Amino acid sequence: MNPQQQSKTKVFNNQYSIIKKLSSGSFGVVFLGQDIISKQEVAIKVEKEENEEVKSLEREVQILKILDGLEGFPRYYWSGEDLGYNILVIQLLGKDLAFHFKQLKKFNLKSVLTIGIQAVSLLERAHLNGVIHRDLKPENMILGLGNEISKLHLIDFGISKVYRDENGKHISFKDQKSFLGTTRYASIQAHLGHELGRKDDLESLMYILLYFLRGQLPWQNMGNVTDEERTKKVGELKLSLENELFRDQPPEFQKIYNAIRRLQFKQEPNYKMIIQELRKAAESLNIVLDGNYEWSEIRQSTHYQTDTNQNLSKQNIQFNNSNEMKKSIEKQLSGAIQHGSQNFLAPPPLSSRHNSIQRDDARKNTNLTQQSSIGNYCQSLNPNYQKSICDDKSGSKQDLFQNKQLSFDDEKISNFDSFEIIENGDLQQPLVQKYEKLRKGMKINLIQSLKKQTK
């Protein structure tokens, strides 16, 4: 960048200049930037300062500072205010797993096992430092650049939470909470309205791994349901299928899933066991886990797009003054366009006036052969489940994330005075009974719904 260009480019904190937009959400934009001192490329996340409903960037800064320096998490560089916006500057990373999934439609077992082992290690690292992610999905699992192109990273901590205080005390169990997360990958506890913990991150990971293996999940693209009904019905289907989700996969997957589902709220997951079982699955099928993914072997293929900046403007963004910068960001914000799998850093969650969060959780699949096979898979898991529910060809829907008290202040770690359920012996029986009652009720509702549809 020559001196004349630099003088016209907006610089934050007298150090970070904007080059071009990478992605955008309803109230945030992610730009490719450069540290004008070190010449290193960075990701610059911009959020409107007047956004008081969610303050996801403020929460993300808190979490990133906790995780800063840990392997597998973006490095934190700077955050502050400029032109009425909150700014976050972090390490620039490469493609997210959603990008590669879009290219390949599904992953082979070697790639899925490699992803699983890395992801479990990352979650263990975050959990040991007191952080639960609470919104794990392919868009938030991203690979590095250069020498780290095969190294997995976790990003987007806008709705993450610190689950331990400075003395190491675990947060209390709560119920009757609003749904939080991405419906497709959320844990059953999220659907039941329970406080989320470490085991819920791992349960979400198992749904993601199954998604990568099969190309689609049984509860995707439900037909004839509203967005409000969809979250409930997905939870019901997850409950009804929990004992056979991984029926057609190596047995280690169902064993891991069952172990995760049995965990109590505050119980520490056995991360070592999970990794051992994933490695055991590889060994039983003579799969060599060398750290490479299947797309590493087909990068030269003409149909596989590897250009990091593909479909993005190659022109630097230049501004003669601060007003030009502000108008440009306003234009990006008003568009509320998210570039899906092109994300280098996932944009902030979408906000609504009613303190709810929406995130896009649907992707059209034009491969009719694949749709047919997924429909057969749905029916193989549950013969009474109608194919039309599995194979909604309309495709594009949005998940609803309802958290009535999602403000940053409400999530402060100092709030530890709520009622706590004891997780030992007979004292926990009321919670078990309550869970079983909810579970039976969901299954009854599901059966009644299916009977109505067959009529």
The candidate with the shortest Cα–Cα distance to 274, out of 226, 168, 220, 203, is 203
**Spacing of C-alpha 250 from chain mean position:** 24
Which residues are CB-contacts of 201 (< 8 A; sequence separation ≥ 6)? 123, 126, 127, 132, 133, 134, 136
- Any domain includes 15: yes
Q: Clarify whether residues 82 and 126 are in a common domain.
A: no
Q: Clarify whether residues 374 and 326 are in a common domain.
A: no
Do residues 35 and 16 touch, judged by C-beta distance below 8 A? yes
Q: Clarify whether residues 270 and 288 are in a common domain.
A: yes
- Any domain includes 71: yes
**Spacing of C-alpha 258 from chain mean position:** 22
Do residues 204 and 186 touch, judged by C-beta distance below 8 A? yes
Do residues 45 and 348 touch, judged by C-beta distance below 8 A? yes
Neighbours of 266 (CB within 10 A): 16
- Any domain includes 195: yes
Q: Clarify whether residues 112 and 162 are in a common domain.
A: yes
Q: Tell me, what's the pLDDT at 84?
A: 77
Q: What is the DSSP string of 304-326?
A: S---TTTTS--SPP--SSHHHHH
Helix (H, G, I), strand (E, B) or coil at 105: coil
List strand residue ranges (DSSP E) for 215-319, in order.
none
Q: Clarify whether residues 176 and 322 are in a common domain.
A: no
> How far apart, in whole angstroms, are the C-alpha atoms of residue 265 and residue 103?
37
Write out the residue range of the structural domain in which residue 335 sits. 3-92+317-341
Burial of 57 (C-beta count, 10 Å sphere; 0-12/13-18/19+): buried
Q: Clarify whether residues 138 and 124 are in a common domain.
A: yes
Q: Clarify whether residues 414 and 270 are in a common domain.
A: yes
Q: Clarify whether residues 124 and 233 are in a common domain.
A: yes
- Any domain includes 441: no
Residue pLDDT tens, the chain, 455 long: 444 444 456 899 999 999 999 887 655 789 999 999 999 999 999 986 555 555 788 899 999 999 999 999 999 999 998 877 889 999 999 999 999 999 999 999 999 999 999 999 999 999 999 999 999 999 999 999 999 999 999 999 999 999 998 889 999 999 999 999 999 999 999 999 999 999 999 999 999 999 999 999 999 988 888 888 999 999 999 999 999 999 999 999 999 999 999 999 999 999 999 999 999 999 999 999 999 999 986 664 545 665 444 344 444 555 555 566 666 666 665 543 333 333 334 333 333 333 333 333 433 333 434 444 444 444 444 444 333 333 333 333 334 334 433 433 333 433 333 333 333 334 444 455 555 666 666 666 666 766 666 65
Helix (H) or strand (E) holding 372: helix 368-381
What pTM, to 2 d.p., does this model score? 0.73
User: 135, 156, 201, 391: which one is catalytic?
Assistant: 135
Q: What's the domain count of the chain? A: 2
Query: How would you list the strands of the sheet with 356-360, edge to edge?
Result: 350-351, 356-360, 398-402
- Enumerate the β-bridge partners of residue 102: none
Q: Is 135 a catalytic residue?
A: yes
> How far apart, in whole angstroms, are the C-alpha atoms of residue 80 and residue 127?
27
Do residues 142 and 128 touch, judged by C-beta distance below 8 A? no
The candidate with the shortest Cα–Cα distance to 23, out of 351, 298, 214, 309, is 309
Do residues 46 and 85 touch, judged by C-beta distance below 8 A? yes
The candidate with the shortest Cα–Cα distance to 336, out of 22, 18, 21, 28, is 28
Q: Work out whether the CA dihedral 193, 194, 198, 202 comes out positive or negative.
A: negative
- Enumerate the β-bridge partners of residue 47: 28, 86
> How far apart, in whole angstroms, are the C-alpha atoms of residue 180 and residue 333?
24
- Any domain includes 346: no
Q: Clarify whether residues 148 and 210 are in a common domain.
A: yes
Q: Clarify whether residues 52 and 32 are in a common domain.
A: yes
Q: Clarify whether residues 257 and 127 are in a common domain.
A: yes
CATH code of the domain containing 110: 1.10.510.10
The candidate with the shortest Cα–Cα distance to 419, out of 164, 170, 172, 163, is 172
Tokens coding 337: 């366009």
The candidate with the shortest Cα–Cα distance to 84, out of 327, 407, 352, 319, is 327
In the chain, the amino acid numbered 30 is: V
CATH code of the domain containing 18: 3.30.200.20
371-388: string of b/e by CB count within 10 Å (b at 16+)?
Answer: beebbebbeebbeebbee
Whole-angstrom CA distances from 441 to 111, 340, 386, 449 are: 38, 36, 20, 12
Q: Tell me, what's the pLDDT at 28?
A: 74
